């Protein structure tokens, strides 16, 4: 791919699509024989709720012939650090044929992954963000001490990943920048050695549906936050002559489809909000909504907040939005820590039944009553 060739964004079907406020991930091989180039697009969150390292490695292995150049394009707010480290090592093993490209943003775990490539090209208007690892946890004092120890260990892994890319960087300065949550411009990243070259600017929306995460960072640049408020471009109004004739919709049949689908999935309580959110538009909308609502319900149950599911479904929220809201709910409820005081789910073990403790007073009263009854019976017999 030539230097002046504009980058492409693919959805999972491999079709070229315009940039939208969503997560896109794809592995694409183009060309024949010596001209073959493998392009990996990591556009979205890294980890369980986005692009996992396992998925990344398996998809890359499926198309990698061991000799073709590999270009890994990143636009990610980060995510799971261990997945980011695994991606870092995967790119590092490719050697000199691997180039990482920062198209808009490589933050947090994404910055760790990018630095595994032999060569890093960062767009002139892109940024790299480095910061301390953090997490939330639940448990007793010993559990929290262990979590703190793990965070210290992961900090060393982060420093090692950056030092592998920029061995001459001053380590004390690097640790200070990581602790301060530092947002690096393209030229600053190159000066530090975390990138090798400044490339052409690319117009890509920075947050990719992760605006809530961007706002939680302490020092997010104002120009990135401003992009979150940009209005979407209006769709052109169709001409009357070109307007297709809308198909006839059988609302009763669609409502039955929702009812049966929810009943089979064991989520009958979501029938009404699902009908409300789909407005029984057409069969495709209903089927897509059924698939979405099952995933949303699973997320709410996993977060132990099933009572929020109906609200999310009625609002028509997708999985990405629900994840962000559940994450905010969990973190904000315990100042960064999850305190689990929810009602146990059906699959939780039943509480142990404790034996009833003896009551001396009641035992004594029962014996006295029995003795008095025996005395009265004896007197009656003598009479």
From the list 160, 157, 185, 186, the residue with the least C-alpha distance to 171 is 160
Residue 361 domain flag: no
pLDDT of residue 211: 53
pLDDT digit string, tens, across residues 267-313: 888 888 888 888 878 888 888 888 888 888 888 888 788 888 888 88
Do 223 and 132 lie in one domain? The reply is yes
Same domain for 288 and 216, yes or no, is no
* Pairing between β-strand 127-130 and β-strand 70-76 as defined by DSSP bridges: unpaired
Does 176 share its domain with 316?
Answer: no
Q: Tell me: do 104 and 193 sit in the same domain.
A: yes
* Residue found under tokens 């986005």: 50
Q: Are residues 164 and 295 in the same domain?
A: no
C-alpha 186: how far from its chain's center? Answer: 26
pTM for this one? 0.54
Question: What is the distance between the alpha carbons of residues 15 and 22, in angstroms, rounded to a whole number?
Answer: 15
Q: Are residues 127 and 218 in the same domain?
A: yes
Q: Return all residues near 38 (Cβ < 8 A) that are at least 6 apart.
A: 27, 28, 29, 60, 63, 64, 68, 69, 70, 71
Same domain (yes/no): 65, 185: yes
Residue 383 CA to residue 80 CA, distance in Å, equals 90
- Expressed as residue numbers, the domain containing 307 is 251-333
**pLDDT mean values, one per 10 residues, the chain (383 residues):** 34 32 54 74 82 88 88 89 92 94 91 96 92 81 87 91 94 93 93 93 55 63 62 52 56 79 83 82 85 86 83 83 75 47 46 54 67 59 49
The answer for residues whose C-beta is within 8 angstroms of residue 290's C-beta and 6 or more apart is 257, 258, 261, 262, 265, 274
User: What are the residues whose beta carbons fall under 8 Å from the beta carbon of 211, sequence distance 6 or more?
Assistant: 228
> Residue 276: which residues within 8 A CB-CB, separation 6 or more?
314
Tell me the CATH number at 52.
Answer: 3.90.226.10
User: Is the sign of the CA dihedral 137, 140, 142, 145 positive or negative?
Assistant: positive
The answer on 259 and 217 residing in a single domain is no
Let me know whether 217 and 272 are in one domain: no
User: Are both 193 and 293 inside the same structural domain?
Assistant: no
User: In this predicted structure, what is the pLDDT of residue 172?
Assistant: 94
């Amino acid at each position: 791919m030539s230097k002046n060739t504009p980058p492409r964004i693919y959805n999972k079907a491999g079709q070229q699509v315009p940039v939208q406020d969503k997560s896109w991930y794809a592995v694409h091989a183009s060309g024949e024989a010596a001209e073959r180039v493998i392009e990996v697009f990591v556009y979205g969150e890294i980890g369980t709720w986005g692009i996992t390292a396992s998925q990344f490695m398996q998809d890359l292995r499926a198309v990698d012939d061991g000799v073709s150049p590999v270009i890994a394009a990143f636009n990610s707010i980060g995510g799971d650090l261990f997945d980011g480290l695994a991606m870092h090592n995967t790119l590092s093993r490719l050697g000199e044929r691997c180039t990482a490209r920062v198209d808009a943003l490589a933050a947090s775990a994404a910055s760790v992954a990018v630095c595994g490539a032999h060569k890093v090209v960062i767009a002139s208007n892109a940024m790299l963000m480095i910061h301390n690892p953090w997490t939330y946890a639940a448990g007793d004092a010993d559990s929290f001490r262990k979590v703190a120890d793990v965070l210290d260990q992961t900090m060393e892994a982060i420093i090692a990943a950056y030092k592998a890319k920029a061995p001459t960087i001053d380590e004390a300065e690097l640790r200070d920048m990581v602790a301060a949550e530092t947002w690096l411009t393209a030229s600053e990243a190159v000066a530090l050695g975390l990138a090798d070259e400044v490339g052409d600017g690319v117009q890509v929306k920075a947050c990719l549906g992760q605006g809530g995460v961007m706002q939680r960072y302490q020092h997010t640049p104002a120009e990135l936050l401003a992009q979150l408020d940009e209005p979407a471009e209006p769709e052109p109004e169709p001409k009357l002559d070109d307007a297709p004739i809308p198909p006839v919709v059988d609302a009763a049949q669609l409502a039955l489809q929702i009812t049966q689908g929810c009943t089979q999935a064991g989520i009958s309580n979501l029938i009404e909000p699902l009908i409300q959110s789909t407005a029984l538009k057409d069969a495709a909308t209903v089927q897509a909504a059924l698939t979405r609502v099952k995933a949303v319900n699973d997320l709410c149950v996993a977060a132990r907040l099933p009572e929020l599911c109906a609200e999310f479904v009625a609002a028509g929220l997708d999985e990405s939005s629900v994840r962000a809201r559940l994450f905010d709910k969990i973190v904000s409820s315990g100042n960064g820590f999850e305190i689990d005081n929810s009602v146990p789910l059906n699959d939780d073990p039943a509480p142990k039944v404790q034996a009833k403790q003896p009551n001396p007073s009641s035992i004594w009263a029962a014996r006295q009553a029995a003795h008095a009854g025996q005395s009265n019976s004896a007197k009656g017999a003598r009479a």
